[in-house]
Structure 1
Amino acid sequence: MRLTKSLLTILFLCIAVSASAQSLSDIDFKSVRVSELSDQQIQRIYSGAQSRGLSIDETVQLAVAQGLPQSQASQLRQRLQQVRAGTAGQGQEQGFPGQLRNQVPIEGPAPDSTKFDSLYMIADSLKRAERQMKDKIFGYKIFTNERVTFEPAMNIPTPQDYQIGPGDELVINIWGAAQMNYNLPVSPEGFIQIQDLGPVNVNGLSIKEAEERLRARLGQIYSGLDPQNEQNKDTYMQLSLGQVRSINVTVLGEVSVPGSYTLSSLSTVFNALYAAGGPTTSGSFREINVIRGSETVATFDLYDLLVYGDQSSNIRLRSQDIIQVKPYNNRIEIEGEVKRPGIYELMGKETLQDLILYAGDFTNKAYTERIKVIGNTPKQKRITDVRKGFFDNYILENGDSVSVGKILDRFENMVQIEGAVFRPGEYALEDTTSLYSLIQRADGLMGDAFMNRGIIYRTRDDYTIETISFNVRELIRNPEQNNIDLQKDDRVRISSIFDLREDYTVTINGPVQKPDQYEFAYGMTLEDLIYQAGGFMQSAAPYRIEVARRIRDASQTAKSSSFIADVQTFEVNEDLTLNEEDASFKLQPFDQVYIRRLPNYEEQQEIHVVGEVQFPGKYAISARNERISDIIERAGGLTPDAYTDGATLFRKREFTQQESQQMTANVQGEGLTAEERAQQLEEQRQQRLQDESAQVGIELPQVLQNPGSRYDLLLEEGDSLFIPKKLETVTVEGGVFYPTTVRYEDGRSFRDYITAAGGFNDLAIKKRAYIIHANGDVDRVKKFLFFKNFPDVEPGATIVVPEESPTAGLSPQERISILSTVTSTLALIVTTIVQINR
């Protein structure tokens, strides 16, 4: 069994390796852009390289050999490195450090999951710490951002100091008295071949030097190009680069991917550094040496480019140049209120001021009087407070941590005033040293200022609050005697008279256009309030208007203390005038005005007649005592096809008190006027009435034979009278095998229709069966002793057989499982008994 398992595992791995190896050759690298490759495609390339034993550098070189542009090679290397890092993490995540996720041990004991979980947690913590470190190092993100590429620009004017070498293509344009174009490649020996002139050596020359040499040589053919007398010059020449050559440079030291790189001859130090993935977390960003031959020709400081945009040391590379990235010497972390907190590298005698400059300077909330520096001694840490003015003299050491604090969220010279002044707000203490001057700075008191008292809230030295009261009226009358000196953080409060009392309102209810609560105004009359409410509605009774006035203290009135409101009755004309006796009546705050409804006022009420009448439609109720027989007569009587036994009356049902209270609670929203709340309540009620109409069973034959009898119901608003055509079917629903609609036949009984629907099913509750007649009446099966009395069935009826709730039974699989368990238990018992008997 173990051998079979091993063979199957090996076969699976072989198939996987074969499929991965093929994936590398499936991609057309000539036209590919690495940034457009999906993560799955990069994974396939990586897996194929791993199966063939190729390193990442060898994989990139193979891709270049298959046509991948050099400009894409560095991106491919970075993405393959990300896959390698992610694959290692996946292996640890499964509990197998160093192995791929799908790699399973063939033999041996299972690994200790606890041990591997611990290793995974340690590795994950280290990765997280390294990632945080990379995020903090200034300049590191520029080499890890996949959205940014730093490739040498090809479509640029030819640099005059560009040094020509084998592989370059020179373009010579001649115009004027002669016209000619040359596209001449530079041979491996450094020569170009010009027709009729022979080879010209341009190796190592700059563009400017080569142009002077070629002008002299071509002057032998074109006499007007380089004549002895400048006045005879009539031919001109321009030299530029066509195709540029590739150069090979080596990047060594503390870089992400050291090695040799094939780059464009226009590439600079930064281009090569980017192709190598940039410095590592231990590499220097400030000391990057360019070694040409046996000497260092330049030292590139990446901060010059990132901070100042200075590329003077970012020289153009030559073939066989070596770029050396040394380990950093001096790194300092700065945090707090600077624009670019992070880890920075300082060189030589650079100071704290230089670090602040690299960090983008202070933010607008930085505390700049003193900066905290935490450093290391041979035995322990130390803390230093560097004061302002000494930043450019303080030399930082490797490992120092700089913290820039935040200014306090408080004012050193602020006083406030609020309340009934024209310009409340904050003021400087220097300009308003006294209470009176602060009021004057706030443009003085408003007319509604409460003059008897104001308060100063003062913060003590222990941050507790004390209050200092003053008389506003006396302060304004005699400021010299009653003035108070202010202190820092004092807050002055002068209240409005409206802040010290309830909001004065009056309310009007009843049949006016806009019943609501209105703001009280002194001198307001009853007519003013009715006018503000939009005037009377037609249903209003203006001769009976009540005003209920609040009684503040009933014991002080001549009336009994049991009175809680003083109610007065008035009569207002429709033109909103009062009689002479009541004309002097003025409203007071919190008065409630009630407009009564006319006793005999009635709005039109409609009912709906549908079905077999001569003139179906809507009808208005003409009298309070109008009945069904009356409306049928007004509708022209019944048609010959009317089925009177099936006539039904639909009536809007009345709501219970609980339902009415619930609807009222649903519209008690804030910001709604009384009119809006009443409108919403009526809309909800009408919607509920439409949704919940009750069916009233009527005996229309009795109504027509005996008008005005107890069968002839009084009509109500919203009633709908439905008179159907002659019905010829009976419907059977509920606990029958085949619920259906059956043709009505005279003489068939209740049970006959049940039988026609397949009979009762297993869930049917026979004794609770009932019938709904066409007119809405309901009748059920009655039982007396051992006898059942089934109701008669008429056309249009519906027979309903209630059902019990179905109970879930055992499935065949469950029955087999229980049977097997019982059989096994019995066999065990029998075996035990036999053993005991032996």
Structure 2
Amino acid sequence: MRLTKSILTILLVCFAVSLANAQNISDIDFKNIRVDDLSDQQIQRIYDAAQSRNLSIDQAVQMAVARGLPQSQASKLKRRLQQVGSGGALDSESAEGVSGQLRRPVATEGPDSTKFDSLYAQTDSLRWARQQLKNKIFGYKLFTSDQVTFEPALNIPTPEDYQLGPGDEIIIDIWGAAQMNYQLEISPEGTINIDNIGPIQVNGLTVEEASNRLRSRLGDIYSGLNPPNNENKDTYMQLSLGQVRSIKVTVLGEATVPGTYTLSSLSTVFNALYAAGGPTTTGSFRTINVIRGNETVATFDLYDLLIYGNQSENIRLRSQDIIQIQPYENRVEIEGEVKRPGIYELKGNETLQDLVVYAGNFTDEAYTDRIKVIGNTPKQKQITDVKKGYYDDYILRNGDSVTVGEILDRFTNKVEIRGAVFRPGEYALEDTTSLYSLIQRADGLMGDAFMNRGIIYRTRDDYTIESISFSVRELMQNPRANDIVLQKDDVVRISSIFDLREDFTVSIKGPVQQPDTYEFAHGMTLEDLIFMADGFLQSATPYRIEVARRIRDIEERSGNESFIADIHTFSVDENLRLNEKGANFELQPFDQVYIRELPNYERQKEVYVVGEVKYPGKYAISSRDERLSDMIERAGGLTPDAYTDGATLFRKREFTQQEAQQTTNGAENGMGAAVEEGEQVRLAQRQESAQIGIELPEVLQNPGSRYDLLLEEGDSLLIPQQLETVTVEGGVFHPTTVRFESGRSFKDYITAAGGFNDLARKKRSYIIYANGDVDRTKKILFFKNYPSVEPGATIVVPEEEPTEGMSAAERIGILSTVASTMAVIATTIIRITNN
């Protein structure tokens, strides 16, 4: 088995190599080709080889068949060659409509190129139209699908009516009193030769006839095979087919690939049609003649096979049979609500009903009372509405178009009930002709039904809606007197009392585990609501709970119209249990319960100390007046590497647009740097924390002074190591980070970054120190006072928005206008002078 696989692999590799190197179509081994396994490049090489010999596609395929290409692969090879020739994924007939040759005319550049472009644009439209036509013709896709093949089955029991001929191999098995096996091939003369018997003529005999003849002749040497008395029979014989012969069949007429095909002798008419690619778009699927000699022995109707599965005319072929596909005579198209819309071929006196059967009958949504037929007259079109009952009598003509409409999306007997009934929904009018019977059909009213009023929405003849109101209470108490007759499409609505009022809720706020809004329930007490909120938190006050109740009526205001809420106050004991009054206090809809916090209750508040301290990390604020100096002391003090001038404090806060504007205004008034508009936006978008500049040396020297800030929750104190660089960014030629050197000025660092560029706003330059402080360039009389530079600082040079210069055309236009104006002025002066 492994040796067989290895040999097969070597053969395939050799075939691929020979195909890749083939320059002549005669060098290609077509016997082992499977077209579906060939790559596009290999098909291109076959195409190029055929093109070099000026062969048409049909001629190339016929040569391939002559060199051993199986007929089942011939139509596939032709389709793929045509795809290459047309430059796209075209099927066989589309490419045929363009050209029967492999070469496509190409127009060189010149006056004829436009004509060629127009020609091929029209060709593309024609291809598309033909493809659409093929997709509609019933049965056409059967012959164009690459996913299935229709080849005769060879591993089947020997057919009794199979006629033997030269080339067939027959197997004779004898068993019983004698054991023998003969495996014989029928000679060209139609005989087989058996030892001790001689030649026996079997040509033209069926398997059954040949079996009887051989049984008679073999009885001469096997006495137990045909004894005078059947009771003495002790030897038996069976005849079967081995290898079957090949036959030549010619397919003519409206075939996709007409020609002579070599097929198995077990092949039928359908096998030959598939090998030839089936009928063309003009070929008949229903009149396919099988000509044997000078006689038509069968007329094959593909519809019998495709629709009914009837193979009575799908006869087995013989050598030299001719299959002739006639042009179609009568085609009609059916669309709409049928299961297989498309183009169908009718013959004889087949009617509209036959067409519906061919199309798979109506769909579930089909309007079957009337079918529209559009046909042709000698001068113009006409439309016919064929009523139900006349489908069997209406004979269709060639070119007719049949449309099956869709039923209307409405009901003839529907009524509907909605709302507070146990089974709302749609009901048949026949079973519920009145309002009361519809309510009973819906299993009656629910307990929350609004009894004062219900409404019937009725559709009038002009499709406007009218409203009919009724008393649900009176209807249920006396249905005989108050019942209403229903009409189709009536919609009955009976509301729930809950639909007609606001949702009743109560809410609880403050230090409870689940503060929220809850659905109100009658009899709910204050203690129930606290239970629903999962109880108090530890921060809840032990002596004050407030309930705010809406005042709906003026009388409830006790004569004071300024009251907007009624406040009830309750106490709890040290174990947070309500007293008897509070526990039993019943709530009303929309009550709001407020739980207060203990006055001196505080959660732990944390700050962060990061950087050059002995014990960095998180710390809890111990008192309300704890300051920076206290926290540094708790952190073990500063390390020797601490850079106190660069220390900064980050504080969590909402840095709003208004605060950003205030910061900008303060900077321009001398309290900080002038911040550009872009910087304002950047500051306004900082939502997590704000950097606060601090003077840590002053803090350490004067604890408790104004420099020693009080701590807040979330503060982060950063004390960096000694900084040694200065960053320059913005309107300089080379933004960079420069090594800090004592004695270098502001402008020295600008120079180190390449100097100011053309867009730099020098007067607006400012510096951001490591601790977050900002200072700007100031102008005193004619002198600029640049701020001092410290380690870790960032120098920012704002830039102007770049402006576009005038184009050459704009300059010429301005100069032309100026020159014209000057000429007019000069002319005017000359005229005045002359006068």
Shorter chain as normaliser: what TM range? Answer: 0.7 to 0.9
Name the aligned partner's letter for residue 440 of structure 2.
Q
* 3-state secondary structure, aligned to 1:247: strand
1:827 maps to none
| Equivalent runs, 1:598-637 vs 2, <5 Å | 598-637=598-637
Distance (Å, rounded) in 2 between the aligned partners of 1:322 and 1:100: 28
Distance (Å, rounded) in 1 between the aligned partners of 2:697 and 2:62: 104
User: Are the structure 2 counterparts of residues 81 and 230 from structure 1 closer, same or farther at C-alpha, using a change threshold of 3 Å?
Assistant: farther
User: Are the structure 2 counterparts of residues 46 and 720 from structure 1 closer, same or farther at C-alpha, using a change threshold of 3 Å?
Assistant: same
2:479 maps to 479
2:705 maps to 709
| CA RMSD in angstroms, aligned pairs only | 3.8
Distance (Å, rounded) in 2 between the aligned partners of 1:180 and 1:312: 38
1:798 maps to 793
Q: Once the 2 structures are TM-superposed, how far is the Cα of residue 73 of structure 1 from its aligned partner?
A: 1.7
Name the aligned partner's letter for residue 695 of structure 1.
Q
Q: Once the 2 structures are TM-superposed, how far is the Cα of residue 588 of structure 1 from its aligned partner?
A: 2.1
Q: Once the 2 structures are TM-superposed, how far is the Cα of residue 483 of structure 1 from its aligned partner?
A: 1.4
Using the aligned pairs only, state the percent identity: 74
Greater shift after overlay, 539-548 or 436-445?
539-548
1:428 maps to 428
Greater shift after overlay, 751-760 or 273-282?
751-760
User: Are the structure 2 counterparts of residues 601 and 658 from structure 1 closer, same or farther at C-alpha, using a change threshold of 3 Å?
Assistant: farther
Q: Are the aligned partners of 2:72 and 2:274 in contact in 1 as well (CA < 8 Å)?
A: no
Paired positions, count: 761
1:169 maps to 169
Q: Once the 2 structures are TM-superposed, how far is the Cα of residue 206 of structure 1 from its aligned partner?
A: 1.9
User: Are the structure 2 counterparts of residues 652 and 297 from structure 1 closer, same or farther at C-alpha, using a change threshold of 3 Å?
Assistant: same
* 3-state secondary structure, aligned to 2:311: coil
| Equivalent runs, 1:816-835 vs 2, <5 Å | none
* 3-state secondary structure, aligned to 2:189: coil
* 3-state secondary structure, aligned to 2:602: coil
Q: Are the aligned partners of 1:21 and 1:49 in contact in 2 as well (CA < 8 Å)?
A: no
User: Are the structure 2 counterparts of residues 485 and 752 from structure 1 closer, same or farther at C-alpha, using a change threshold of 3 Å?
Assistant: closer
1:34 maps to 35
Distance (Å, rounded) in 2 between the aligned partners of 1:277 and 1:435: 67
Q: Once the 2 structures are TM-superposed, how far is the Cα of residue 634 of structure 1 from its aligned partner?
A: 1.6
Q: Once the 2 structures are TM-superposed, how far is the Cα of residue 383 of structure 1 from its aligned partner?
A: 4.5
Q: Are the aligned partners of 1:248 and 1:321 in contact in 2 as well (CA < 8 Å)?
A: yes
User: Are the structure 2 counterparts of residues 69 and 280 from structure 1 closer, same or farther at C-alpha, using a change threshold of 3 Å?
Assistant: closer
Greater shift after overlay, 221-230 or 361-370?
221-230
User: Are the structure 2 counterparts of residues 621 and 339 from structure 1 closer, same or farther at C-alpha, using a change threshold of 3 Å?
Assistant: same
1:270 maps to 270
Name the aligned partner's letter for residue 710 of structure 1.
R
Q: Are the aligned partners of 1:371 and 1:387 in contact in 2 as well (CA < 8 Å)?
A: yes
Q: Once the 2 structures are TM-superposed, how far is the Cα of residue 89 of structure 1 from its aligned partner?
A: 9.0
Distance (Å, rounded) in 1 between the aligned partners of 2:402 and 2:196: 71
CA offsets 1:295-350 (integer angstroms, 9 cap, x no match): 11112111111111111110000011111222333333333322222232233333
Q: Are the aligned partners of 1:20 and 1:47 in contact in 2 as well (CA < 8 Å)?
A: no
Q: Are the aligned partners of 2:191 and 2:199 in contact in 1 as well (CA < 8 Å)?
A: yes
Distance (Å, rounded) in 1 between the aligned partners of 2:151 and 2:188: 26
2:690 maps to 694
Distance (Å, rounded) in 2 between the aligned partners of 1:440 and 1:367: 35
* 3-state secondary structure, aligned to 1:317: coil
Q: Once the 2 structures are TM-superposed, how far is the Cα of residue 418 of structure 1 from its aligned partner?
A: 1.2
Name the aligned partner's letter for residue 570 of structure 1.
F
Q: Once the 2 structures are TM-superposed, how far is the Cα of residue 759 of structure 1 from its aligned partner?
A: 6.4
User: Are the structure 2 counterparts of residues 102 and 186 from structure 1 closer, same or farther at C-alpha, using a change threshold of 3 Å?
Assistant: closer
The answer to whether structure 1 residue 63 and structure 2 residue 64 are counterparts is: yes
Q: Are the aligned partners of 2:290 and 2:297 in contact in 1 as well (CA < 8 Å)?
A: yes
Distance (Å, rounded) in 2 between the aligned partners of 1:541 and 1:242: 104
Q: TM-score, normalised by structure 2?
A: 0.81
The answer to whether structure 1 residue 48 and structure 2 residue 43 are counterparts is: no
1:724 maps to 720
2:523 maps to 523
CA offsets 1:685-707 (integer angstroms, 9 cap, x no match): xxx99974333332222222211
User: Are the structure 2 counterparts of residues 175 and 89 from structure 1 closer, same or farther at C-alpha, using a change threshold of 3 Å?
Assistant: closer
Q: TM-score, normalised by structure 1?
A: 0.81
Greater shift after overlay, 585-594 or 452-461?
585-594
Name the aligned partner's letter for residue 720 of structure 2.
P
| Equivalent runs, 1:251-330 vs 2, <5 Å | 251-330=251-330
2:12 maps to none
Distance (Å, rounded) in 2 between the aligned partners of 1:303 and 1:250: 22
Q: Are the aligned partners of 1:653 and 1:689 in contact in 2 as well (CA < 8 Å)?
A: no
Q: Once the 2 structures are TM-superposed, how far is the Cα of residue 764 of structure 1 from its aligned partner?
A: 6.2
Q: Are the aligned partners of 1:554 and 1:563 in contact in 2 as well (CA < 8 Å)?
A: no
Q: Once the 2 structures are TM-superposed, how far is the Cα of residue 268 of structure 1 from its aligned partner?
A: 0.5
Q: Are the aligned partners of 1:20 and 1:51 in contact in 2 as well (CA < 8 Å)?
A: no
Q: Are the aligned partners of 1:736 and 1:801 in contact in 2 as well (CA < 8 Å)?
A: no
Distance (Å, rounded) in 2 between the aligned partners of 1:608 and 1:537: 27
Distance (Å, rounded) in 2 between the aligned partners of 1:638 and 1:304: 102
1:455 maps to 455
User: Are the structure 2 counterparts of residues 807 and 428 from structure 1 closer, same or farther at C-alpha, using a change threshold of 3 Å?
Assistant: closer
Q: Are the aligned partners of 1:413 and 1:488 in contact in 2 as well (CA < 8 Å)?
A: yes
CA offsets 1:496-542 (integer angstroms, 9 cap, x no match): 11111111112222222112111111222222222212222222225
Distance (Å, rounded) in 2 between the aligned partners of 1:253 and 1:391: 34
User: Are the structure 2 counterparts of residues 127 and 637 from structure 1 closer, same or farther at C-alpha, using a change threshold of 3 Å?
Assistant: closer
1:775 maps to 771
Q: Once the 2 structures are TM-superposed, how far is the Cα of residue 387 of structure 1 from its aligned partner?
A: 3.8
Q: Are the aligned partners of 2:244 and 2:265 in contact in 1 as well (CA < 8 Å)?
A: yes
Q: Are the aligned partners of 2:724 and 2:792 in contact in 1 as well (CA < 8 Å)?
A: no
Distance (Å, rounded) in 1 between the aligned partners of 2:550 and 2:476: 37
User: Are the structure 2 counterparts of residues 415 and 750 from structure 1 closer, same or farther at C-alpha, using a change threshold of 3 Å?
Assistant: closer
Distance (Å, rounded) in 2 between the aligned partners of 1:634 and 1:475: 84
User: Are the structure 2 counterparts of residues 340 and 745 from structure 1 closer, same or farther at C-alpha, using a change threshold of 3 Å?
Assistant: closer
Q: Are the aligned partners of 2:82 and 2:90 in contact in 1 as well (CA < 8 Å)?
A: no
Name the aligned partner's letter for residue 111 of structure 1.
D
User: Are the structure 2 counterparts of residues 152 and 627 from structure 1 closer, same or farther at C-alpha, using a change threshold of 3 Å?
Assistant: same
* 3-state secondary structure, aligned to 1:213: helix
1:419 maps to 419
2:10 maps to none
Greater shift after overlay, 52-61 or 216-225?
216-225
Gaps of 5+ in 2: 1-19, 661-683, 812-835
Name the aligned partner's letter for residue 615 of structure 1.
Y
Q: Are the aligned partners of 1:536 and 1:574 in contact in 2 as well (CA < 8 Å)?
A: no
User: Are the structure 2 counterparts of residues 75 and 659 from structure 1 closer, same or farther at C-alpha, using a change threshold of 3 Å?
Assistant: farther
Distance (Å, rounded) in 2 between the aligned partners of 1:243 and 1:613: 100
Name the aligned partner's letter for residue 523 of structure 2.
G
Distance (Å, rounded) in 2 between the aligned partners of 1:326 and 1:297: 15
1:648 maps to 648
User: Are the structure 2 counterparts of residues 59 and 282 from structure 1 closer, same or farther at C-alpha, using a change threshold of 3 Å?
Assistant: same
Q: Are the aligned partners of 1:21 and 1:51 in contact in 2 as well (CA < 8 Å)?
A: no
Q: Once the 2 structures are TM-superposed, how far is the Cα of residue 431 of structure 1 from its aligned partner?
A: 1.7
Greater shift after overlay, 275-284 or 428-437?
275-284
Name the aligned partner's letter for residue 722 of structure 1.
L
Q: Once the 2 structures are TM-superposed, how far is the Cα of residue 63 of structure 1 from its aligned partner?
A: 1.3
Q: Once the 2 structures are TM-superposed, how far is the Cα of residue 239 of structure 1 from its aligned partner?
A: 3.0
Gaps of 5+ in 1: 1-18, 661-687, 819-838
Greater shift after overlay, 180-189 or 610-619?
180-189
| Equivalent runs, 1:83-94 vs 2, <5 Å | none
Distance (Å, rounded) in 2 between the aligned partners of 1:89 and 1:206: 45
1:76 maps to 77
Greater shift after overlay, 268-277 or 31-40?
31-40
* 3-state secondary structure, aligned to 1:497: coil
User: Are the structure 2 counterparts of residues 701 and 31 from structure 1 closer, same or farther at C-alpha, using a change threshold of 3 Å?
Assistant: same
Q: Once the 2 structures are TM-superposed, how far is the Cα of residue 421 of structure 1 from its aligned partner?
A: 0.8
1:405 maps to 405
1:337 maps to 337
Q: Once the 2 structures are TM-superposed, how far is the Cα of residue 777 of structure 1 from its aligned partner?
A: 3.1
